Amino acid sequence: MPDRLQTEISIQDVNLVIEKTTILSGISMEMEKGKIYGLIGRNGSGKTMLMKCICGFVRPTGGEIRVQGKLVGTEVDFPENIGIIIENPGFIPYYSGMNNLKMLAGLNRRITKEQIADTMRLVGLDPELKRHVGKYSLGMRQRLGIAQAIMEDPDILVLDEPMNGLDKEGVADIRKIFLQLKEQKKTMLIASHNADDIEVLCDHVWEMEKGAAVNLK
């Protein structure tokens, strides 16, 4: 059993039933600080919905989820210190990437324009580029989504298919960033269809099928 002081995410017997359909069934997981965790499984297996529950977007119908010791849905509606990519990152299409991130950063006012620019460069984007996000390639939009998730230096990252749309070089770049974040003691939960991502990055892996999770690694 992980040390409670080191446990960043604790999921205990979580169930989710929507309109009499079981989406999640008896999910229990512990995620420790400074490790990368993987979720694999077919579409519809429950990966994305579990991530939504962790982030407070969906309330489980049973069980509990604690993030950094706080009960999601009771003690906090949405966990703090968490960076998220779930499904397709949403941006204002007629703003530049920099302006999109500045607007998002303005909600919490934790970081400066220079820190946003540094994060964009880290993920391989030019903060001076005036092109509207609506004209970005899929890979550029994904890099921008990753920048959005990491720019405020969160303790925890919940990332649903973060490599989606990236070419081989892009995947290598982002894997390197994720491993650097691990060295900084960030905790990451990654869902990916790419077996190589899981093998290279993850300390522990669960396979999800029909809403249940099985330990693989």
Question: What's the average model confidence in pLDDT over 10-37?
Answer: 95
Question: What's the average model confidence in pLDDT over 87-108?
Answer: 89
Vertex 203: Cα angle to 152 and 80 (nearest 5)? 25
The arrangement of strands across the sheet holding 156-160 comes to 82-85, 156-160, 187-191, 36-40, 204-209, 212-215
The pLDDT, as a whole number, for residue 106 is 84
The pLDDT, as a whole number, for residue 5 is 54
Residue 2 binned pLDDT confidence (cut-offs 50, 70, 90): very low
For residue 96, give the DSSP letter: B
Question: What's the average model confidence in pLDDT over 127-152?
Answer: 94
Please give the structure tokens belonging to residue 57: 């977007």
185-216 residue pLDDT tens: 999 999 988 888 898 999 999 999 988 888 87
Closest-CA residue to 188 (of 144, 150, 139): 150
Question: What's the average model confidence in pLDDT over 61-73?
Answer: 95
98-133 residue pLDDT tens: 999 999 988 888 899 999 999 999 999 999 999 999
The pLDDT, as a whole number, for residue 217 is 66
- Is 140 within 8 Å of 134 (Cβ atoms)? no
Pick the range with the lowest mean pLDDT from 132-136, 147-151, 210-214.
Answer: 210-214
The pLDDT, as a whole number, for residue 112 is 93
What global pTM score does this model have?
Answer: 0.92
The pLDDT, as a whole number, for residue 123 is 96
What rounded mean pLDDT belongs to the chain?
92
Question: What's the average model confidence in pLDDT over 9-15?
Answer: 96
Residue 50 binned pLDDT confidence (cut-offs 50, 70, 90): very high
The pLDDT, as a whole number, for residue 158 is 97
